[in-house]
Amino acid sequence: MIFVKDATTLKFVRFNRAGEELIGYSERELLGKSDYDFFPPHEADFFTEKDRAVLEQRRVLDIPEEPIKTKHRGQRMLHTKKVPILGPDGTPQYLLGISEDITEQKLSKHAEQRRALMLELQQYALCELAKQEAIYTGNLTDAFHVLTEMGSRVLGVERASVWLFTEDGSALSLMDLYEQSPRRHSSGARLAGDRYRPYVQALIQEEYAIAAHNAWTDARTRCLAEPYLEALGIGAMLDAPIRSKGKVIGVLCHEHVGGPRTWTPEEIHFASSLTTFITLAMEAHQRKDSDRELRVAKEVAEVANRAKSEFLASMSHEIRTPMNAIIGMADLLWETQLSPEQRKYLRIFRRAGGTLLNLINDILDLSKVEAGRLELEHIEFDLNDVLDKAVEILSMRANEKGLELACHLATDVPCGLVGDPTRLSQIIINLIGNAIKFTEKGSVIVRVTTDPDNPRPGAIRFSFADTGIGIPREKFEAIFDSFTQAHASTTRQFGGTGLGLAISKHLAERMGGRIWVDSTVGQGSTFHCTVQLEVQNHPIQASIAAPLQLTNVRTLVVDDHPTNRLILRETLAAWGALVTEAESGEDALVELRRAVEAGDPYQLLLLDARMPGMSGFDVAEAVKASSVGQGLTVIMLTSDHWADDIARTYDLGLGGYLVKPIRRADLFQAISIALGRSKGTPPPQFFSPAPAQEDAARPLHILLVEDSSDNQLLIRSYLKQTAHRLDVADHGGIGLEKVKHGHYDVILMDMQMPVMDGYTATRAIRKWERDQDLPPTHIIALTALALREETAKIFEAGCNSHLTKPVRKQTLLEVLRAFNKRQEAA
Amino acid sequence: MRHSDTAAPQRITVTIDRDLEEIVPTFLANRTRDLETLRTSVSVQDYETIRVLGHRLKGDGGGYGFPALSEMGGAMELAAGRHDQPAIERIIAQLQDYLARVTVVYR
């Protein structure tokens, strides 16, 4: 707009077209008139004031903003420059005005500023909400309050509310309503969904928010007009759907009371953002719910398990009392006259009773541990004793399966310990027993070391390595659970309650340790167990270390098994012996000869009876036949077929024998007796077992199956002064019948007999035992000759060991004594 | 239980554990009775009975302290197995001679 005013009158003298359009008056109307003719007085004053200033100062004036009331377009904003036009005399004649309509510019600038402010406010609001604990802890009441207040304030609406669909989705239920003027929260109203179907439909389809600028006309919200909008005077609504897991679960409403209102995109976006916080709060709430449910369920389960354990513990104890009576009575009944049929039933009865009692004992143990009722003892003990006892108990089982069982205790492990030796034995016996159970051939090696992962004194690791069937990796954990075996299909084959490992695990944990397993299927397993015990302040001197002086006794240890050599070397060296090792009979002979030639012969030879190539007996015979045997005491190490080996040891006149696994006490005893014997001096008193005590050992019930009445008489006379009871059968057939009707600890079986020979009888006895589900009776074969093929045949038939006739009294008694000792241990 | 057959040319002295004093005379008496059975068996060529008697003698002799009897029993068992009548008769004669000359000393 360009206009020209007279400098003196300030009346318009020119007005351009743009000016006409802007102001709304034609040039004709304007010319000769002043501002006061068209504009309100305060505007006209303002214009006039500026005009005077320009003219007086005779310079250009810039007026950045100048409101002006137009005829048709309302209030407009102008940016005006006023320029004085001077006459030839230098005085102002006219005033030139150039105005630009900046109304639109000004408005959009204002909107921009407002939008920036709104965004800032919204961001602030969202940050504030993000700090609200109620949202993250899932405290819904507080969270809803915070959100409705925030929505109402930021969006500047009277009412803000949270509605959630009822469970069946048929209605919306008001969770919280905030009304700004009374600053009041309320809740509880309900809107039936079917009455407001278009609204609900729109809600479900809407991505951000239903922005109803005019709630009365908007197709989505029209249905709410009566009575809702009307009653509350609502003119515009901004309703954002609340979603959880992709489903619309409710709505966050912002209601503008009064006329229509235009919702900006930012406001719509903000409303939608707010619902995110509702979703967060609700999910936190659900999580809290399920967490609580989980915790409650866990507590319930724990209480139930404890109760179960308590129950089992007391029940098992209660069951044990009558069980003992049942088993005791069965034992008494066993001693009475019974028909074969009755005896058979009773046998099964006793066996089942024993199994049941074992199971009850295991359950009792496990439930005691689980119920936390197991009290561990805190007493001083010697680790050597615990290991020796455990190994002794299991050696018979290992020998029966022909397994090498060895136990090596590292020299740096303290043996004077404080803890619960009974429970420690239980773990060790369980783990060795387990290893033997799942191993068909090879070895079970126990290694005891200080715990490499725990430097504290008294931290000990036990490892039990077998060469058995192994355990698949995915079962490494499960096998320690109650009633679980790695090979479910083989439970019947291997038997057992499956509680042993679970009990051992609990016990180890109670002793501050743990149990785990390494294994390769088909190659074997190694179970590891650690315990934390206390070391005695004043460790007891190893009770057996002192009396035997082997100082500088030249000793050769011959065994093909390195662990056995290691055990023997360490044990003997600890007693002062000078130990050399050989891993075969051939090497041993070479070494013995070399030592003799060097003028420093060996004094003690420990020989493994069973070695590949040259056996221990072969070596012993070679030694006897040559000069290297001079002054040499030989001790034979035997394992399976020990009875036969003992007899051969006697026959060869060797110093003594030792049944593997090697235990320090036995080794000590055997060596002292052997050395005493070969020196012609009686063995130390400490180790010479009093005969009375020997005879007090459990009397055995022995069956002799022998056709020769002379030999019957001979054996009878051998046993006359012992407590053993002897039954005689003239041939295998009678022997079999006697076995079926009575119980025998040992059967002495002649192999060559008329009617039914020993091979047939032994096979028949073994078959019958299997059919009756009975443990095999120990059968010792008696043969007149011991050819290698015949020996093989004897074991094939099912005999446990073998004695060559003539059987001498001392040999027989020694074999029975050894049997008794092992039997008792088991 | 050590034996020696050099005490006197006509005598075979055997030392046996005193524990067996009660049963050794019966054993020796039974062996004398065996001689009858053996002779009868030879005459009727009942080699099985001879084999069984030989086997028992082999098994029992040593146990009672008469290793020489065990040796004879073993030889007799083998001879019976191959139906070697002359050998059997020779061993029966040996057995008879031994039983006639043996003297037992208990210690």
Render pLDDT for A291-346 as a digit per residue (tens, 0 to 9).
888 888 888 887 777 777 777 777 767 777 777 788 888 888 887 888 877 877 88
pLDDT reported for residue A722:
85
Interface check B4 vs A, CB under 8 A: no
Mean pLDDT of B18-36: 88
Residue A653 touches partner B, C-beta closer than 8 Å: no
- Look at A678 and A283; give whichever has higher pLDDT: A283
Q: Which of A19-23, A281-285, A801-805 has the lowest mean pLDDT?
A: A801-805
Query: Among residues of chain A, what percentage have pLDDT more than 90?
Result: 20
Tell whether the model's pLDDT for residue A248 goes beyond 80: yes
Asked if pLDDT for residue A276 goes beyond 90, the answer is no
Mean pLDDT confidence for A144-156: 91
Distance in Å, alpha carbon of B85 to nearest chain A alpha carbon: 22
Please state which of the ranges A512-526, A671-685, B52-66 shows the lowest mean pLDDT: A671-685
Taking the CA of residue B5 and the nearest CA in chain A, the distance in Å comes to 20
pLDDT of amino acid A516 = 93
Element (DSSP H or E) covering residue A555: strand A554-558
Inter-chain touch B63–A805, beta carbons under 8 Å: yes
Query: What are the chain A neighbours of B37 within 8 Å (beta carbons)?
Result: none
Stretch A593-597: mean pLDDT, rounded? 90
Assign 3-class secondary structure to A157-188.
CCEEEEEEECCCCCEEEEEEEEECCCCEEECC
Q: For residue A707, list chain B residues with Cβ-Cβ distance below 8 A.
A: 52, 56
Q: Do A713 and B56 touch (CB under 8 A)?
A: no
H helix and E strand count, chain A: 25, 30
Contact B56 A806 (CB under 8 A): no
Task: Say yes or no to pLDDT of A632 above 60.
Answer: yes
pLDDT at A298: 84
Note the pLDDT of residue A693: 37
A207, two tokens: 């991505």
- Asked if pLDDT for residue B43 goes beyond 60, the answer is yes
Q: Does residue A692 carry a pLDDT above 50?
A: no
Distance in Å from the first CA to the final CA of chain A? 122
Structure tokens at A787: 């050819």
Chain B positions touching A757 (Cβ under 8 A) are none
Lowest mean pLDDT among A59-73, A118-132, A648-662: A648-662
Question: Which 8-state DSSP code applies to residue A71?
Answer: S
CA dist., res. A447 & res. A619, Å (int): 30
Residue A403 tokens, joined: 């397994």
Is the model more confident about A826 or about A146?
Answer: A146
* Whether the predicted pLDDT of A487 surpasses 60: no
Cα(A591)–Cα(A552) distance, rounded to whole angstroms? Answer: 18
What is the reported pLDDT for A685? 34
pLDDT in tens, A334-388: 878 888 778 778 887 887 887 787 777 777 777 777 767 777 889 999 998 899 8
C-alpha distance from residue A611 to each of A443, A795, B9 (Å) = 14, 18, 47
Beta bridge partners of residue A379, listed in sequence order: A419
Convert the pLDDT of each residue in A557-588 to its tens digit. 999 888 888 888 888 888 888 999 999 999 99
- Residue A321: C-alpha distances to residues A311, A316, A326, A361 (Å): 16, 9, 9, 12
Q: Does A752 touch chain B (CB under 8 A)?
A: yes
Whether residue A227 has a cis bond before it, omega within 30° of 0:
yes
Give contacts of A808 with chain B, Cβ < 8 Å: 1, 63
Closest approach of chain B CAs to the CA of A805, in angstroms?
6
CB of A772 less than 8 A from some CB of B: no
Residue of A nearest to B56 (CA): A708
Q: Within 10 Å of residue A598's Cβ, how many Cβ atoms? A: 8
CA–CA separation, A191 and A196 (whole Å): 8
* A490, A530 contact by CB (below 8 A): no
Any A CB within 8 A of B13 CB: no
Whether the per-residue pLDDT at B16 is higher than 80: the answer is yes
Q: What is the pLDDT of residue A411?
A: 84
pLDDT at position A541 is: 53
Contact check, Cβ <8 Å, B22/A805: no
Q: Is pLDDT of A476 > 90?
A: no
Q: Which among A717, A750, A806 is the nearest to B23, CB-wise?
A: A717
Rounded distance between C-alpha atoms, residue A781 and residue A644, angstroms: 9
Set of chain A residues whose Cβ sits within 8 Å of the Cβ of B60: 708, 710-711, 714, 805-806
Is the pLDDT assigned to residue A491 strictly greater than 70? Answer: no
> Residue A428 above 90 pLDDT?
yes
pTM over 0.80? The answer is: no
pLDDT at residue A519 is higher than 70: yes
Single-letter amino acid, residue A177: L
Please name the residue of chain B whose CA is at the shortest distance from the CA of residue A809.
B63
- Coil, helix or strand at residue A606: strand
Handedness of CA A573, A575, A577, A582 (dihedral sign): negative
The predicted pLDDT at position A484 comes to: 57
List the structure tokens of B37. 């059975």
* Contact pairs from chain A to chain B, CB under 8 Å: 58
Mean residue pLDDT of chain A comes to 83
pLDDT band at A764 (very low <50, low <70, confident <90, very high): very high
Is the predicted pLDDT of residue A168 greater than 50, yes or no?
yes
What integer is the mean pLDDT of A589-608? 90
- Looking at residue A341, its pLDDT comes to 78
B63 and A709 in contact by Cβ < 8 A? no
ipTM of the complex: 0.76
The residue in chain B having the minimum alpha-carbon distance to the alpha carbon of residue A808 is B63
pLDDT at B96: 92
pLDDT at A161 over 90: yes
Please tell me the least confidently modeled range out of A318-332, A516-530, A626-640, A781-795.
A781-795
pLDDT at B6: 44
Tens-place pLDDT, residues A605-631: 999 988 888 889 899 989 888 888 778
Q: Is residue A251 over pLDDT 60?
A: yes
What is the average per-residue pLDDT within A533-555? Answer: 70
C-alpha to C-alpha distance for A682 and A510, rounded to whole angstroms = 48
